[in-house]
Amino acid sequence: MNIMRGFLAICIALALSTRLFAQTDTTRIHKVAIFTPLYLDSAFDGTGNYRYGKNFPKFMNAGLEFYEGASIALDSLGQEGVKLQVSIYDTRSANGTISTLIAQAKLDSTDLIIGSVTGNEYKQLADFALKKNIPFVSATYPNDAGVTANPYLVIVNSKLNTHLTSVYNYLLKNYGNARVVLFRRNNPEDDRIVSVFKSLNASHDGPGVLNFYTVSLPENFTTRDLLKNMDTLRQNFLIVGSLDENFAKNIANQALPFAEKYPVTLVGMPTWDGIRDFDRVEFKPLTIVYSTTYFNPVVDKWSMNFSNVYKHKTYSRPSDMAFKGYEITYYFIRLLQKYDKGLMNNLGDKSFRLVTEFEFRPVQWSKAVSGPDYYENKRIYILKKFNGITTRLY
């Protein structure tokens, strides 16, 4: 019921999709558009009644949490005297699609676009941002969606290749003499991960710098299949070279019988940040290392204050998505206020950092253009889970 009260409060706020924070002087008011999937049309029927009774569908969580975090950030900015006109758009609204908004020129005067969007919506906003020279901050999608030659696109949630490079460099620097085995499935989907590691090895001086071995596991592999590829007398790093969650869980389960006997560490993908099974008590003996673009243990003053405000407004604890909604909204609007049209040239300004250590760098894949294809956050955290505790290694 508490969650429902918070949800209804959000819906009431969204009835006024434009929020204005301004003083009565002539200082320019920046216009910001925020896109996130809220599914409000799905939640209520034609007469305004909530469809799900006392339940709250999980598919609605991420978008609502991002919105609520962004909303609290806007409140903070308003209290600090920042002059803004902010429009919130539900990307799952039947009447407010991105293509409709563009066709009706409703985004033309926007100074900044922030989007928790994927797929076609991502591509539409990126193309529009390039056409109108408007910075577009992709807040949560770890992909470039094939976008090239777009110096107005900022990718906050780093791409897979960036994660793999950081994991490779971490292992090479700290465990260059350990036995490293990359386990994969025998299918084309895992070829990409293997090829990245091989390419990174080839880019260093000398063959096989990391000295890792690639093993394709059978469909019904067992603990014995893992053990026969290990050196039980020295440190072993078992890289799970697949984004498939079930494959990851299966390897972890098969590694449990020898986790306390042999020196072994499982090295996972950035998707492991969302595998809650690894927080269960039976997985405590396993040492698990993985990468992420976001880590907040909520021990600093700002994070604790935000948690209290969020609980007061929504009657629930903030998720990582809520923290991201606040940080990204606050950080980029502050940059907009400070630099105006020069925002894209000042992404390295760390004046407004709260917790996350963003490190935006230009990325260029296209040889046909002289400028960047986009800007990407290259700051990757390496985390370790062991004995029920998550710690930051890098």
Q: What is the pTM of this model?
A: 0.91
Least confident of 53-67, 281-295, 323-337, 362-376: 53-67
Sequence-distant (6+) residues with CB within 8 A of 110 are 31, 32, 33, 87, 132, 134
CATH number (domain holding residue 215): 3.40.50.2300
Here the tokens at position 380 are 């990757």
Q: Is the same domain home to 208 and 307? A: no
Separation between Cα atoms, residue 108 and residue 258, nearest integer Å = 60
**298 neighbors 356 (Cβ within 8 angstroms):** no
Burial 26-49 (b: 16+ CB within 10 A, else e): eeeebbbbbbbbbbbebbeeeeee
Number of independent structural domains in the chain: 2
Q: Is the same domain home to 184 and 271? A: yes
Q: What is the pLDDT of residue 365?
A: 86
Residue 210 has pLDDT above 90, yes or no: no
Structural domain for 322, as ranges: 2-157+298-380
Length of the chain in residues, anyone?
Answer: 394
Domain assignment present for 18: yes
Q: Is the same domain home to 29 and 106? A: yes
Least confident of 43-57, 75-89, 194-208, 318-332: 43-57
pLDDT of 21-78, one tens digit each?
Answer: 544 344 689 999 999 998 777 666 666 666 655 666 677 788 999 999 999 999 999 9
Domain end (from 245, 268, 292): 292
Q: What is the pLDDT of residue 249?
A: 96
Q: What is the pLDDT of residue 234?
A: 87
Q: Is the same domain home to 15 and 32? A: yes
Separation between Cα atoms, residue 71 and residue 88, nearest integer Å = 9
Reported as a pLDDT band with limits 50, 70 and 90, residue 1 is very low
Domain end (from 236, 266, 292): 292
Here the tokens at position 339 are 């630099």
Q: Is the same domain home to 183 and 127? A: no
Q: What is the pLDDT of residue 15?
A: 44
Separation between Cα atoms, residue 223 and residue 229, nearest integer Å = 10
Separation between Cα atoms, residue 182 and residue 291, nearest integer Å = 16
Write out the E strands in the chain: 18-21, 30-36, 84-90, 112-115, 136-138, 153-155, 179-185, 212-217, 236-240, 264-267, 287-292, 360-363, 374-377, 381-386, 389-392
Q: Is the same domain home to 149 and 182? A: no
Domain assignment present for 146: yes
pLDDT > 90: what percent of the chain?
Answer: 75
Domain assignment present for 388: no
Q: Is the same domain home to 143 and 231? A: no
**150 neighbors 132 (Cβ within 8 angstroms):** no
Q: Is the same domain home to 319 and 202? A: no
Domain assignment present for 204: yes
Q: Is the same domain home to 150 and 206? A: no
Separation between Cα atoms, residue 371 and residue 35, nearest integer Å = 27
Residue 236 has pLDDT above 90, yes or no: yes
